[in-house]
A and B are shown apart, each in its own frame.
Chain A
Amino acid sequence: MKLSRFNIVSLTLCFAFLYLPILVLVIYSFNASKLVTVWAGFSTRWYAKLFHDEAFLQAAFVTLKVALVSASIATVLGTMAAWVLVRFSRFAGRTLFSGMIFAPLVIPDVILGLSLLLLFIAMNIDRGVTTIIIAHATFSMCYVAVVVSSRLVTFDRALEEAALDLGATPFQAFSLVTLPVIAPAVVSGWLLSFTLSLDDLVIASFVSGPAATTLPMRVFSQIRLGVSPEINALSTILITLVTIGVITTSILSKRSALVRAGEAEG
């Protein structure tokens, strides 16, 4: 099938629109001038400056810690929630349960952030890294639940039943039969939670205390005042890491799919 001219034009425009802003950002991160919009030759001085900025490094460390822990909690809770959504069709409050899974996907961040903060204050929990982790795990688990459940519904349950008939315990049946099949979805759920946590500005701003500043909070307080070459450099680093990550995982998952297909044939 060949693409019509109209379709080629719309795809080209789309990708230009999506990628030109990022490309410009990356190019100008190598700009020697302090004036971000005026090109004054190639330089890596902003990268050097970034790596000597203690506050930035500190914030990056906090962000990474929060993202790793919250993504792991979210993956466990989200996979459980997906199981409940797909396998248990009748229990008291099922509609409420699915509502609590789907609503956080769309509810504005300001509402989630404000309400969680007021909860933490009412419960007298000290605000800081822990509260950010709880907040991120809460909304990320809903994304994990959606991603994993979409994989779980297509899973052939006869395989699980066969394992049980052959004497596996339910836990063995899950970990040896079901989990390997839904693993790609679980992994992408974890990755999604990880990036959502790295990304979040609004919720973290509400629920964090004076002791914990995340990278987005730090970036936001700086770019509020205008464009800054240091932030361009930071953005470029993040974009590069994300691109490498996404491409690697997609190649790996494709390869494992090929291996599985090969095994099925052989």
Chain B
Amino acid sequence: MSDDDKAGSGFAGRLRRALLIAVPYLWLGLFFLAPFVIVLKISLSDSVLAIPPYTPTFDPSRGWEGIAAMFRAFDFENYVWLSEDDLYWQAYLSSLRIAALSTLLTLLAGYPIAYAMSRAPERWRPILLMLVILPFWTSFLIRVYAWMGILGQNGYLNQFLIWLGLIDTPLVILGTPVAVYIGIVYAYLPFMVLPIFSSLDRLDRSLIEAALDLGCSRLQAFWLVTWPLSRPGIIAGCLLVFIPAVGEFVIPSLLGGSRTLMIGKVLWDEFFANRDWPLASAVAVVLLLILVLPILLFQRHAERQQRRAEE
């Protein structure tokens, strides 16, 4: 691919190119990248009862001396605190566990759907696709809220099961991790279905027919041909569910109750309830470090998809 076309040669062209790059670059640098530096800085500060509630604050009037003084006052106290308190360990581990298990559940639910969609007659596909995407356009908060009414003690699910005569006493689901699993699978299902569908949709059918002709059973053909070829979609879908789920706040706080420990909720409470900004920042930094690897994987995957589309 050529980098510069006719529009990009000459002085005016170079200026236009530089401007096109600079505007989004600077915006993201200022509002996406710079904030992380500040979070890192505040995570090394101490909490005080003041506005803003941390120290040291940067004092530009003192010039270099001010900066040096700020660096001298930094320490890793918040990180030591994090590593020593069992609560945070538990919260990180249980977030990872909940996210991993619900990603697996979403995959188990999403794959058959994507598969069925890719097998549906051509003229149905746009409608099926729209039906999967439609809930995604509806408010996330509302979709999670809908489950509060279903899973509660007197909720619709319990009413239904009692009416059926399957149970006598209502099941306790709302306020337990089970409700969180249901919530995550429900809210993130489209993110799993769409990438898998798009890789199944591209799959060359004749490969499966060849495998069947060569004596594979249907199951073998699926396992040896369809599944490996849909792997890019599976990986994308899993990353799209797993990464945000680790830091999920809305679902555990509405469905999980006080017994479900997740780090997104801990961070929120540390910030809003305890007003300990340095500690909240340290929690965020560690969470980001945990997620760096999956995020880089996701970026590489997205770039590869883009290059493939160009060819």
CB distance from B10 to the nearest CB of A (A): 10
A181 at the interface (CB under 8 A from B): no
Q: Which residues of chain A from 53 to 98 have a CB within 8 Å of any chain B CB?
A: 77-78, 80-81, 83-91, 93, 97-98
Bound complex: CA of A114 vs CA of B36, how far in Å? 9
Q: What is the bound-complex CA distance between A195 and B143, given in angstroms? A: 14
Give bound CA distance, A246 to B132, whole Å. Answer: 12
Is A179 part of the contact surface with B, judged by Cβ < 8 Å?
Answer: no
Contact A83–B20 (Cβ < 8 Å): yes
Pair B25/A97 contact, Cβ less than 8 Å: yes
* CB closest chain-A residue, reference B247: A108
Residue from A2, A18, A195 with most neighbouring chain B CB atoms (10 Å): A18
Chain B nearest CB from A81 CB (Å) reads 4
Residue of B nearest to A236 (CB): B142
Question: Contacts A19-B135, A98-B303: A135 and B116 contacting too (C-beta < 8 A)?
Answer: no
Name the interface residues of B22-39: CB closer than 8 Å to any CB of A: 23-25, 27-36, 38-39
B173 to chain A, nearest CB (A): 14
Identify which of B133, B148, B240 contacts A223 (C-beta below 8 A).
B148
**B247 A109 Cβ-Cβ under 8 A:** yes
Q: Assuming A150-B306, A223-B148, is B244 touching A239 (CB within 8 A)?
A: no
Q: Are A1 and B121 in contact (CB under 8 A)?
A: yes
Interface residue from A15, A21, A101 paired with B150 (Cβ < 8 Å): A21
Q: List 13 A-B contacts (CB under 8 A).
A: A21-B150, A25-B145, A37-B156, A38-B154, A89-B3, A106-B243, A106-B244, A110-B249, A138-B28, A202-B268, A219-B141, A227-B145, A235-B145
A residues lining the B interface (CB < 8 Å): 1-4, 6-8, 10-11, 14-15, 17-19, 21-22, 24-25, 28, 36-38, 77-78, 80-81, 83-91, 93, 97-111, 114-116, 118-119, 121-122, 134-135, 138, 141, 145-146, 149-150, 153-154, 157, 160-161, 164-165, 170, 173, 195, 198-199, 201-202, 205-206, 216, 219-220, 223-224, 226-227, 231-232, 235, 238-239, 242-243, 245-246, 250
| Chain B interface residues toward A at CB < 8 A | 1, 3, 5-7, 13, 16-17, 20-21, 23-25, 27-36, 38-39, 42, 52, 58, 109, 112-113, 115-117, 119-121, 126, 128, 130-135, 137-143, 145-150, 152, 154-156, 159, 186, 189, 239-240, 243-244, 246-250, 253-254, 264, 267-268, 271-272, 277, 280-281, 284, 287-288, 291, 294-296, 298-299, 302-303, 306, 309-310
